[in-house]
Structure 1
């Protein structure tokens, strides 16, 4: 069995969507003749934790936890100073962690006779650590996995000198990696457009869902006295609920949706006062409810008990490349998806191909309203508005995706 050093700054018990991809690879890689050795950070002071995700780490697997180097976790008023420091670190706040984790990384390679190195971003400092190791061990293949784009990421726009530095860092990673992985075909096209010399290095492995996470939920049937529409995940930057709220308010004001018969749940780690102010502004008190971040299994149960699921992803340059991790778990619930997303993007194509929901462009409030009304009417009539293509959905099961990763790791030895 080959040994793979997996450098993943975000790893359980840290919670959130960013850890799912890596921990599921870790869970199933032994099935494909790879033994992971994970290099990550100490999570004792992490802001978002989900201890239940630790169950996905197979027994006896080595997890090396280094000092976190998290300036934002400094005590008292020092944390504000730490946040200022983080803003000046390039490419991200984990640059210091990447530097001090080198010693443990060298030891891991030597002690475990590592055959291949895998890095995952964000943070992009994971890849810089991978390149540093590659320069010292040129015979060990390096595989870099981009969960999100880097310099082309619409959520993190770089300008001036910082943009130039990060572009050079990205170019260096693309040069030294033996194989590269992206999350979506659109993301792949973007990378190849800007870096044609990398053709032949890139592979696409999307996010997915784990069948085992849904065990025990197969027979749950929604029985809500209100049409219950649920959103899970972050709301930040351009990813705002305002356009959906506008569509919802129109549907209520026009009499197409009974305000007393609809409940929208937003589940996540939110700035509650700011989000509540937006809800108040749209006069949606009593309709939209805010729920705190939940452990993964609990969150899935909330999805299964819902009548429909809300997906929000803003339009704009670069946004069409995103699937968002939650869409795959959404699809596996067999509940209809109300998607307010880039209409020509990767996620829209996925939902259309799998027939798992209704899509409108993020900025198209009127079509979002019509889709909402259609789902609401189906609920009142007791009919199912979607007929998922099960075979297409199954392509995104985590075991299948881990098999694809193992094939990329195998391919890296041929470079």
Structure 2
């Protein structure tokens, strides 16, 4: 099949959202499909990537990677950033104006030379889905896969009236798409409750590196959090408190370490009592982050309370490292289920300081005794990105006649 993928994020973007879309392109191509990608970048270009045709369409106001770089470097406001901020508040997703017009023209041009059997549009956010919806409304015939990934309207950070506006878009996308893809059965249940379309498919995120079976232990007991932290949403302060109390009680060594790798969004207030124990490292590439995840004794996940059914991407990156995972999150949600299923770590409520202390002590005991968790490697391998994308490839093969009928 000829498949067109429309996404604002794709290689060489280093945003975590890009890796999911790259996996769709790469592994659907390996499954025998012809793949074309239309994505956003700071200059127009056409390249071959893993055998896929990738067309970069310039965002003429402010490309997302540029904005990310400005935030990370704490740069002063520019006209581009101010324009983007205004559009964000007016349109919810500024790419609807600044990118969609030119991306639509590129897609129409591509349709003149090749008929696409399938269009896959992807979250994050509205722009790519609205492009697919516009194509459908303007008479283009194709089978539409809407990759909603996480929830949209239910957990939007803005005011309630923004959520209402997003919900109206969300309903139209869900009702118009031929199949909606999301990362968990819990989110799919929520989506089903808001639309008349009953066709959904669960395709989780995953890891994309070789499983690591050799285990090394650090000279000092070391825990690591790799990724961004977010003010009032994802913070390590309860971890710091539990860590401090355990050292005061002399239950873990005084030279134990916590590494925070890649945090760029908030300045951490590290308690004086553990300042020498907390090591902050600048942002690194994704491949370097995977390598660094083997140079620790515990990998920490912190997930915001109330965001049910959502996995943080790093939990999949951690699965095959052969290191214990300590997840500070809802013990009754999907991350806990994943760790229990794969036997890869421990889950404790982020508000339960005593529970965090007990979990740290479990991890410390594993380090002290040079033990290795009895991971279920067969379950873990289900979460290779290739195996997850093959769920969609198998779906398309099973519904080939239905896809063909959409061209009529």
> Same fold per TM (> 0.5)?
yes
Q: CA contact under 8 A between 2:61 and 2:84: conserved in structure 1?
A: no
Q: Which of residues 207, 210, 216 is equivalent to 1:214? A: 210
> Cα deviations across residues 10-57 of structure 1 (Å, max 9, x unaligned)?
111110211111111211212222111000011469xxxxxxxx99x3
CA distance 1:403–1:77, shift in 2 (3 Å): closer
Question: Paired residue for 1:250?
Answer: 245
Aligned mates of 2:361, 2:43 — CA distance in 1: 45
CA distance 1:31–1:87, shift in 2 (3 Å): closer
> Cα deviations across residues 320-345 of structure 1 (Å, max 9, x unaligned)?
21111111121111111011011111
CA distance 1:288–1:187, shift in 2 (3 Å): same
Question: Paired residue for 1:407?
Answer: 394
Q: Which of residues 285, 300, 303 is equivalent to 1:310? A: 300
Question: Paired residue for 1:78?
Answer: 79
User: What are the ranges of 5 or more consecutive residues in structure 2 without an aligned counterpart?
Assistant: 68-75
Report SS of the residue matched to 1:24.
helix
Q: Which of residues 56, 67, 90 is equivalent to 1:65? A: 56
Aligned mates of 2:265, 2:175 — CA distance in 1: 40
Question: Paired residue for 1:393?
Answer: 380
Question: Paired residue for 1:356?
Answer: 344
Q: CA contact under 8 A between 2:41 and 2:58: conserved in structure 1?
A: yes
Aligned mates of 1:67, 1:14 — CA distance in 2: 14
**What TM-score do you get using the length of structure 1 for normalisation?**
0.87
CA distance 1:76–1:250, shift in 2 (3 Å): closer
Q: Name the one with the larger helix percent.
A: 1
Q: CA contact under 8 A between 2:153 and 2:164: conserved in structure 1?
A: no
Report SS of the residue matched to 1:71.
coil
Please report how far the alpha carbon of residue 76 of structure 1 lies from its aligned counterpart in structure 2 after TM superposition: 6.2
Question: Paired residue for 1:120?
Answer: 122
Aligned mates of 1:69, 1:373 — CA distance in 2: 52
Question: Paired residue for 1:188?
Answer: 188
| Coordinate RMSD, CA, aligned | 2.3
CA distance 1:140–1:357, shift in 2 (3 Å): same
CA distance 1:288–1:11, shift in 2 (3 Å): same
Q: CA contact under 8 A between 2:61 and 2:80: conserved in structure 1?
A: no
Q: CA contact under 8 A between 1:17 and 1:233: conserved in structure 2?
A: no
Question: Paired residue for 1:48?
Answer: none
Q: Do structure 1's residue 142 and structure 2's residue 148 form an aligned pair?
A: no
Please report how far the alpha carbon of residue 379 of structure 1 lies from its aligned counterpart in structure 2 after TM superposition: 0.9
Q: Do structure 1's residue 328 and structure 2's residue 316 form an aligned pair?
A: yes
User: What are the ranges of 5 or more consecutive residues in structure 1 without an aligned counterpart?
Assistant: 46-53
Q: CA contact under 8 A between 2:125 and 2:152: conserved in structure 1?
A: no
Aligned mates of 1:358, 1:308 — CA distance in 2: 10
Q: CA contact under 8 A between 1:221 and 1:305: conserved in structure 2?
A: no
Aligned mates of 2:396, 2:173 — CA distance in 1: 17
